[in-house]
């Protein structure tokens, strides 16, 4: 009971949404799991092409004691491939069901993700707006901004660390802005892992596989 | 004399045809290990490719083909563009 309470406290202390490109490579699968300030979520996506991905997503929102399940569709709207950098703009969407307090209703979200990255630096922004048919689960807007630096350049078969600073903004939340240092590590596949702690002491972690 | 020439020509032709090839591709947008996965997976499905190497600092992909292996420019272009990246150059060198 005590362990469960501690785990629940950690989960409830945590910020939102695993950060990875919302579309993988053609024929690629991408399962992910994250624990964060609102609870935890997991998703599995499949990308038939480099332009779009479809998947399913589940979330547990501890603050509202709500579970959400979506069918998801993410699309690459724009990509610029430069000799030493890459820029992307995606739209992310999901539609499904919310369950809370014994009631069920339609739920959905819509958001964008943009990123720029070279071998040494990265910048990323994402947002989404969640809509539900339940009064007990508030519609809300969230956005996240990240800047990162690679402390060294790893070859494609080695583990590449990134040191990032993340700002999470939820205008209607009790704590609207949180700043977090984040450590990301990944290799040439299949693992990308992240962990961070915010200025409010919230810990979060995610694990993303791609194959 | 003619017989010797024919034998020599046959040997040269045979050795050329049997050579493996190293193909170096200049690819744009190839900035992280996460990016190379799709390209690597697709090239490994090409029977003629025996090895593949990435240099993220120079944005190059180096393919090694088996003897008598053939990877056409069209195949290369398709894999790179379908993977979501840009291709600016293909250099071929017999090994």
The model's pLDDT over B5-41, given as tens digits with 9 standing for 90+, comes to 666 555 555 554 557 889 999 999 998 887 888 899 9
Per the model's pLDDT, the better-predicted residue between B19 and A148 turns out to be A148
Q: How far is A96 from chain B (nearest CA, A)?
A: 29
Model ipTM value: 0.78
Neighbour-count burial of A122, counting CB atoms closer than 10 A to its CB (0-12 exposed, 13-18 middle, 19+ buried): buried
Q: Distance between CA atoms of A52 and B79, rounded to whole angstroms?
A: 17
pLDDT of residue B4: 67
Phi, psi of A157 (to 5 degrees): -95, -5
Structure tokens of A113?
Answer: 């993700």
Q: Distance between CA atoms of A138 and A122, rounded to whole angstroms?
A: 32
Q: How far is B82 from chain A (nearest CA, A)?
A: 7
The pLDDT of residue A70 is above 80: yes
Q: Distance between CA atoms of A202 and A184, rounded to whole angstroms?
A: 17
CB contact under 8 A, B33 and A81: no
Q: What part of B 26-65 touches A (C-beta under 8 Å)?
A: 27-42, 54-57, 59
pLDDT of residue B17: 53
pLDDT tens-digit map of A113-143:
999 999 999 999 999 999 999 988 889 999 9
Q: Distance between CA atoms of A50 and A43, rounded to whole angstroms?
A: 18
Q: What part of A 8-37 touches B (C-beta under 8 Å)?
A: 21, 24-28
Tell me the CB-side half-sphere exposure of residue A3, using CA atoms within 13 A. 0
A26, A95, A121, B40, B50 from B53: Cα distances, Å: 20, 41, 23, 9, 11
Q: Distance between CA atoms of B36 and B81, rounded to whole angstroms?
A: 13
Q: Distance between CA atoms of A181 and A109, rounded to whole angstroms?
A: 27
Contacts of A186 in chain B (CB under 8 A): 32-34
CB contact under 8 A, A50 and B38: yes
Strand partners, B28: B86
User: Between A and B, how many residue pairs show a Cβ–Cβ distance under 8 A?
Assistant: 86
Considering CB atoms only, which of A84, A158, A210 is closest to B37? A210
Any alpha helices (H) in B18-92, and if so which ranges?
A: 33-44, 73-82
Q: In 3-state terms, what secondary structure has residue A95?
A: strand
pTM of the model: 0.83
Mean pLDDT estimate for chain B = 85
pLDDT tens-digit map of A8-43:
333 333 334 555 689 999 999 999 999 987 789 999
The pLDDT of residue A3 is above 60: no
Q: Is the dihedral of CA A13, A17, A18, A19 positive or negative?
A: negative
CB contact under 8 A, B38 and A28: yes
Tell me the CB-side half-sphere exposure of residue B78, using CA atoms within 13 A. 8
Q: Distance between CA atoms of B95 and A113, rounded to whole angstroms?
A: 44
Q: How many CB atoms lie within 10 A of CB B79?
A: 23
């Amino acid at each position: 009971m005590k362990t469960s309470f501690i785990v629940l406290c950690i989960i409830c202390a945590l910020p939102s949404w695993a950060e990875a490109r919302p579309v993988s490579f053609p024929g690629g699968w991408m399962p992910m799991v994250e624990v964060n300030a609102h609870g935890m979520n997991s998703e599995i996506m499949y990308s038939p092409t480099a332009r779009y991905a479809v998947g399913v997503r589940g979330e547990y929102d501890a603050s509202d004691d709500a579970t959400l399940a979506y069918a998801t569709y993410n699309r690459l709207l724009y990509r610029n491939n430069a000799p030493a950098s890459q820029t992307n703009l995606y739209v992310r969407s999901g539609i499904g069901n919310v369950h809370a307090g014994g009631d069920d209703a339609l739920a959905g979200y819509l958001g964008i993700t943009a990123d720029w990255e070279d071998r040494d630096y990265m910048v990323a922004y994402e947002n989404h707006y969640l809509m539900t048919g339940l009064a007990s689960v508030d519609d809300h807007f969230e956005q996240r901004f990240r800047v990162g630096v690679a402390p060294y350049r790893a070859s494609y078969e080695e583990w590449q660390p990134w040191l990032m600073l993340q700002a999470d903004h939820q205008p209607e939340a009790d704590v609207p802005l949180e700043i977090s240092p984040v450590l990301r590590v990944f290799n040439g596949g299949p693992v990308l892992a992240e962990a961070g702690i915010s200025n409010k002491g919230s810990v979060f972690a995610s694990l993303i596989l791609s194959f | 004399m003619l017989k010797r020439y024919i034998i020599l020509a046959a040997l040269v032709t045979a050795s050329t045809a049997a050579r493996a090839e190293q193909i170096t591709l200049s690819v744009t947008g190839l900035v992280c290990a996460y990016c190379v996965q799709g390209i690597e997976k697709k090239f490994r499905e090409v029977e003629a490719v025996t090895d593949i190497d990435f240099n993220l600092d120079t944005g190059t992909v180096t393919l090694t083909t088996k003897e008598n292996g053939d990877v056409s420019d069209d195949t290369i272009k398709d894999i790179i563009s379908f993977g979501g990246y840009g291709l600016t150059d293909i250099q071929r060198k017999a090994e």
